[in-house]
Amino acid sequence: MLPGSIQISGETLSGAEIRDICESLRENSVRLLSLRGCQLSERDFGHVCRGVAESRSLAQLNLNLGIVSNINRVKQLAEALKTNRSVQSLFLHGSPLTDAGLALLNPALSIHPSLVALDLGDCMLGDEGINLICGLLPPDGAKSGLKELTLSANPGVTSKGWGRLAIAVAHSSQLRVLNLDYNPLGDQVAGMLAVAVASSRTLEVLDLEGTGLTNQSAQTLLDMVENYPTALRTLILAENNISPELQQQISDLLSEGEEEEETEAREVTAREKNPWICQNNSSSQMVLMTSGLGDSLLAETEM
């Protein structure tokens, strides 16, 4: 268990346990709260939400696997997030939100000052839900938005919805990680996403595992990686009808990009340590890019 964390999975929580959790939240001693797959009464869920609202230390909230099980709970969570200012990562994977539930939650998400990571995988979303999510990916020059987004296993979204998401991703100035695994995307949507990745200056990780892709998609993605400068460093294509050779070619090209960046980073560091070293070409520019999210909270708990 991490310092300042409460992590409970698959248990039925008593009123006394809920009181202890809420007291810790009010005392600002909890950074991570995970109640993954737990059972708690409507009243106790309300108590937890009030504790979340009052907490100034809570950075990650994991309510995966059915905790937010009805519209009333969605409303209570939305009210908590309107008051809370500290939550950076919110996990609702496996919650039956539907588009209607997300519409109730969205106003709180869109104004939250700290939220950078959101997991809405397996939340029964459709195209209207995707439209709302696009609003959390503001374009360059706008307000800050999500850096990590998970939309795994939402088969109700159509190609029209994914197309709108691709446009938002292309213009987002923040998004670094996008997980779309186990959605029936197919080659058409993959082509839209390839264009989005080629346009994005920030997207580093794209998970397309089990999304119904073929060699046609892989060739498009290969051409994109080979011919366009991109921030992409990790592309997951497992469990698709794609040849191992094409997957390996894409992986090799992405690895080459990482190696080049590491070399450039070492050169920049050397020049910073030895500022008196002259450059032969005074007009040359060094572009330093970093991969990974550093202090990302997504890895701290499982789904």
Spell out the domain ranges in the chain: 1-111, 125-262
Q: Give yes or no for residue 193 having a pLDDT over 80.
A: yes
pTM recorded for the entire structure: 0.85
Q: Measured between alpha carbons, how far is residue 117 from residues 174, 179, 184, 220 in Å?
A: 11, 11, 23, 28
End-to-end, the C-alpha distance of the chain in Å comes to 15
CATH homologous superfamily of 125-262: Ribonuclease Inhibitor (3.80.10.10)
For Cα atoms 189, 194, 200, give the angle at the middle one, nearest 5 degrees.
125
> How big is the chain, counted in residues?
303
Judged by DSSP in three states, 118 sits in: strand
| Cα separation, 225 vs 203, whole angstroms | 13
Nearest to 54 by CA among 82, 20, 19, 18: 82
Beta bridge partners of 79: none
Contacts of 50 (CB under 8 A, 6+ apart): 22, 80
* Single-letter amino acid, residue 205: V
| Cα separation, 105 vs 111, whole angstroms | 11
| Cα separation, 80 vs 46, whole angstroms | 9
User: Cβ atoms within 10 A of the Cβ of 184, count?
Assistant: 15
Residue 143 or 145, more confident? 145
Nearest to 233 by CA among 261, 265, 267, 191: 261
Buried b (16+ CB within 10 A) or exposed e, 51-88: bbbbbeebbbbbbbbbbbbeeebbebbbbbbeebebbb
Q: Do domains 1-111 and 125-262 have the same CATH topology?
A: yes
Span 110-129, average pLDDT = 97
| Cα separation, 269 vs 290, whole angstroms | 13
Q: Which of 141-145, 208-212, 275-279 has the lowest mean pLDDT?
A: 275-279
Which tens digit of pLDDT belongs to each residue from 18-76? 999 999 999 999 999 999 999 999 999 999 999 999 999 999 999 999 999 999 999 99
Instruction: Specify the CATH number for 1-111; select among 2.115.10.20, 3.40.50.300, 3.40.50.150, 3.80.10.10.
Output: 3.80.10.10
Burial status of residue 127 (CB atoms within 10 A of its CB: 0-12, 13-18, 19 or more): middle
Span 166-171, average pLDDT = 95
